[in-house]
Structure formats: structure tokens, C-alpha cells
Amino acid sequence: MNTMTLAYIAIAVFMLMLIGLFLSVREFLRISDDPSQFVGVKSNQKKSYSDQ
């Protein structure tokens, strides 16, 4: 492989990583806004990760 091919692969991997990071942050913010939107969680029920 030549240098340009490796550079293109590196750029593609970096862009995919940024897209995955953006989607992960968006999903985390959506879930943390109102956890009562999800099945099995009541709005008045306080859940913490230590209880699980």
C-alpha cells in the first residue's frame, strides 16, 4: 500500500469514529433528559446505577 491509500483509510476511520462519538453523545443526552420515556421505568421512581 502506498502512503496516500493509508492516509485515506486513516481519514475514513477517523470520520467513522467522530460519527460514532456524535451518535453516542446524542443518545446519552436523549436518555438522560427523561428516563420515564422508556419501558419499565416509572417517572416517580428514582433509579441509580448502584442499585442495579
pTM (2 d.p.)? 0.58
**Per-residue pLDDT at 44:** 56
Answer whether residue 50 is part of any domain: no
Give the C-alpha separation, 42 to 28, whole Å.
19
**Considering its fold, how many domains does the chain have in total?**
1
pLDDT band at 12 (very low <50, low <70, confident <90, very high): very high
Q: Which residue has the cell 446505577?
A: 49
Contact 8, 16 (CB under 8 A): no
Answer whether residue 26 is part of any domain: yes
List, as own/partner pairs, every contact residues 26-29 make where C-beta atoms lie below 8 angstroms and the sequence separation is at least 24, other chains included: none
With a cut of 90, say whether residue 14 has pLDDT above it: yes
Answer whether residue 2 is part of any domain: yes
**Per-residue pLDDT at 29:** 87
**Per-residue pLDDT at 16:** 98
Q: Which residue has the cell 419501558?
A: 39
Distinct helix (H) and strand (E) counts, the chain: 1, 0
Answer whether residue 14 is part of any domain: yes
